[in-house]
């Protein structure tokens, strides 16, 4: 399906459509994938505050990401959509977030509104994994992979976001999360003490 990406994005970042944003599940997944794949384009049109507000809506109230677990949508399309979240990090969070931490008292000094939704992305995301659901298995693997693949970022806001998500997913995928975070700590021994402590907390599922 070819969508009018500009009009679809306006629905997300300007109109937000209340509870009427969802279309046919297949169309929703395809539209969301196309949006995420070209996520950086919104920076050409919208202010940072508008983008942050739209992403808060996207992650939670829009209900769009719930379609990742809709069995009426072919698995390969749901998996592709989940994987496209990498582009949200690469094209928006990595480029536009201030290179600062947000947990604890750190966030009080960060004026960039994108940092807040970056930090909270996986907190408000509509799942922390469904290991007992066969429909969810591949999507869960991909979402965990997105978090893992974000950890090498040079922007600590993105690293912190991924660790925050992994910390929440510890409740459903403890072994996987612990393995990912342990590898991160081995690979990046020079990270600052605050981020290292946060990673250790995430490894135990103790994040807020």
pLDDT at 189: 92
Q: How many C-beta atoms surround the C-beta of residue 61 within 10 A?
A: 15
User: pLDDT (tens digit, 0 to 9) for every residue of the chain, 208 residues total?
Assistant: 556 788 888 888 887 765 456 678 998 999 999 999 999 999 999 999 999 999 999 998 888 999 999 999 999 999 999 999 999 999 999 999 999 999 876 665 567 899 999 999 999 999 999 999 999 999 999 999 999 999 999 999 999 999 999 999 999 999 999 999 999 999 999 998 999 999 999 999 999 7
Taking the CA of residue 27 as centre, how many other CA atoms within 13 Å lie in the half-sphere pointing to its CB?
9
pLDDT at 21: 61
For the chain, give every domain's residue range. Answer: 5-203
Q: How many angstroms separate the Cα of 67 from the Cα of each of 20, 34, 74, 144?
A: 14, 15, 11, 17
SS3 content of the chain, % helix, strand, coil (to 5): 65, 0, 35
């Amino acid at each position: 399906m070819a969508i009018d990406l500009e009009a679809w994005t306006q629905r997300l970042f300007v109109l937000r459509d209340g509870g009427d944003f969802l279309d046919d599940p297949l169309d929703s997944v395809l539209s969301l994938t196309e949006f995420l794949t070209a996520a950086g384009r919104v920076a050409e049109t919208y202010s940072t505050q508008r983008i942050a507000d739209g992403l808060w809506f996207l992650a939670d109230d829009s209900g769009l990401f719930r379609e990742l677990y809709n069995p009426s949508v072919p698995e390969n399309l749901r998996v592709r959509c989940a994987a496209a979240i990498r582009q949200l990090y690469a094209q928006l969070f990595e480029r536009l977030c201030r290179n600062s931490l947000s947990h604890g008292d750190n966030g009080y000094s960060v004026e960039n509104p994108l940092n807040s939704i970056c930090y909270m992305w996986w907190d408000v995301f509509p799942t922390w994994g469904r290991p007992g659901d066969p429909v969810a298995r591949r999507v869960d693997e991909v979402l965990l992979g997105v978090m893992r693949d974000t950890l090498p970022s040079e922007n600590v806001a993105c690293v912190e976001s991924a660790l925050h998500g992994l910390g929440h997913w510890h409740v459903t995928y403890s072994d996987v999360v612990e393995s990912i975070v342990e590898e991160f700590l081995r690979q990046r021994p020079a990270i600052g003490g605050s981020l290292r402590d946060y990673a250790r907390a995430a490894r135990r599922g103790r994040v807020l």
